[in-house]
């Protein structure tokens, strides 16, 4: 195992590895309006994407619009 991988694994074990908020994402309960096969993933406050069809959306006045 490489040295960087060992350091990374130690950080995870110690729970000291935090992902910055701008790189985190959340699975939502909203179905994709394009393919209806998957729930959307919230990438940022107003940006969403589908993990099946890869379509991007933006939230405008509580409505999803194609990006």
Estimate to the nearest angstrom the gap between the alpha carbon of 26 and the chain centroid: 5
pTM summary value: 0.62
Percentage of the residues of the chain whose pLDDT score is greater than 90: 37
Q: What is the pLDDT of residues 6-19, one digit of tens each?
A: 877 776 676 655 55
Cα–Cα distance between 5 and 41 in angstroms, integer?
28
* Domain parsing of the chain, residue ranges: 22-67
Strand residue runs (E) in 1-67 = 26-31, 39-42, 47-50, 56-60, 63-66
Between 14 and 29, where is the model more confident?
Answer: 29
pLDDT for 66 equals: 94
Mean pLDDT rounded to a whole number for the chain: 82
Cα–Cα distance between 23 and 60 in angstroms, integer?
22
């Amino acid at each position: 195992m490489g040295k960087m991988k060992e350091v990374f694994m130690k950080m995870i074990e110690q729970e000291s590895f935090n992902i910055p908020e701008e790189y985190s994402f959340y699975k939502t309960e909203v179905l994709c309006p394009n393919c209806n096969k998957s729930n959307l993933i919230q990438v940022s406050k107003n940006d969403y994407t589908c993990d099946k069809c890869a379509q991007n959306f933006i939230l405008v006045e509580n409505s999803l619009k194609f990006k």
